[in-house]
Copies of this chain bind each other. A is one copy, B any other.
């Protein structure tokens, strides 16, 4: 019970606890130097490639941390989640590893690869019509019917702490290299990743700047930071970044990010496609559009990194071959 209605925000200690929980199951993704980005920016740039994470995105971290904390009395009915893809795979894989069933409520227009992989990770997919049916009502009905626990995508104590392990690993690896990051930039949708990262890296490097990266037209974090309260996006669709479609920052995540992040940049669809192509050609990492916004913003020169040490989080790589090829075409590479 107390796990579901956590009265307080996660802290650095909760991120460390999540890291212990994840040690045996998550991939410890590397911090990779990128000489090409060093040359382009004049800084010392590192990538944190979460496409290499189990399920192909950072989402596994929070999902596993959350689901592993359920009490024995909550486990029988399994879990239910709403997601168009990356949270879906994270929840399905985490539940399967923990011996629990999972149901994912997924829009019918979700990328085919994400649906197929969710099923492959052991999830049961229930589809709905975006803009017509109410996914939350569908999830609530499934939860009531099966006694399943709802796993939210970002606005949750243990989800935020789990995503924070991305930042903890960045901080640890920077320390091992004898470096201190000046800038960490991460893609934001509901803000679970960036707020978790900020909890970790600001503890170890208090003067580091942490920024959000969002698709142009979906920059609810950047506008909310400026307004001092949570703003909503005008549009609910129309970006190639299918992973970054949350309408507004989360309540808990914004309590953290408004304090520890406070600034953001954005990138257009075309800039994002160019970043996907750049990652293919220059980094040899498969990044999905929604995972490449921070990189796109850096490549577009939206952030002066000259002389700075920076980490760019690539948050996911679950992209259909067709979309991937289209990004290469847009960038003039194919």
Determine whether the beta carbon of A280 is less than 8 Å from that of B321: yes
Does A125 lie at the interface of the complex (its beta carbon under 8 Å from any beta carbon of B)? Answer: no
Number of copies: 2
Closest to A286 in B: B284
A115 vs chain B, min Cβ distance (A): 14
- In the complex, what's the smallest C-beta–C-beta distance from A14 to chain B, in angstroms? 24
A-B contact pairs, 19 of them (CB 8 A): A25-B35, A27-B34, A27-B35, A28-B33, A29-B30, A29-B32, A35-B54, A51-B284, A52-B283, A52-B284, A56-B284, A280-B324, A284-B285, A284-B287, A286-B286, A321-B325, A321-B328, A322-B334, A325-B334
Q: Contact mask A248-287 → B, CB, 8 Å, 1/0? A: 0000000000000000000000000000000011111111
* A positions within 8 Å CB-CB of B: 25, 27-30, 32-35, 49, 51-52, 54, 56, 113, 280-287, 317, 321-322, 324-325, 328, 333-334
Measured between beta carbons, the chain B residues less than 8 angstroms from A322 are: 334
Name the distance in Å between A265's Cβ and chain B's nearest Cβ.
Answer: 24
Contacts of A282 in B (CB 8 A): 56
| Contact pick for A286, options B34, B56, B285, CB 8 Å | B285
In the complex, chain B residues whose CB is within 8 Å of the CB of A287: 284
Assuming the A-B contacts A33-B28, A52-B32, are A281 and B333 also in contact, with contact meaning beta carbons closer than 8 angstroms in the complex? no
Given contacts A328-B321, A333-B321, A334-B325, contact A285 B52 (CB under 8 A): yes
Which 3 A-B pairs rank lowest in CB-CB distance, beginning with the nearest?
A: A30-B30, A51-B284, A284-B317
- How distant is the Cα of A51 from the Cα of B283 in the complex, in angstroms? 7
The residues of B that contact A56 with a CB separation of less than 8 Å are: 282, 284
Decide: A32 and B30 in contact? CB cutoff 8 A: yes
Query: Which of A35, A54, A284, A322 has the most C-beta atoms of chain B within 10 angstroms of its own C-beta?
Result: A284
Closest chain B residue to A320, Cβ basis: B334
Could you tell me the distance between the alpha carbons of A322 and B286 in the complex, rounded to whole angstroms? 16
Bound together, the chains give a CA A96 to CA B243 distance in angstroms of: 40
C-alpha gap A56/B25 in the complex (Å): 29
Chain B: minimal CB distance from A96 (Å): 11
Cβ of A273 to closest chain B Cβ, rounded Å: 13
Q: How far is the CA of A334 from the CA of B52 in the complex (A)?
A: 21
**Other contacts beyond A29-B32, A51-B284, A321-B334: 20, CB < 8 A:** A27-B32, A27-B33, A27-B34, A27-B35, A29-B30, A30-B30, A35-B54, A52-B283, A52-B285, A56-B282, A113-B281, A280-B286, A284-B285, A284-B286, A285-B286, A286-B286, A321-B333, A322-B334, A325-B325, A325-B334
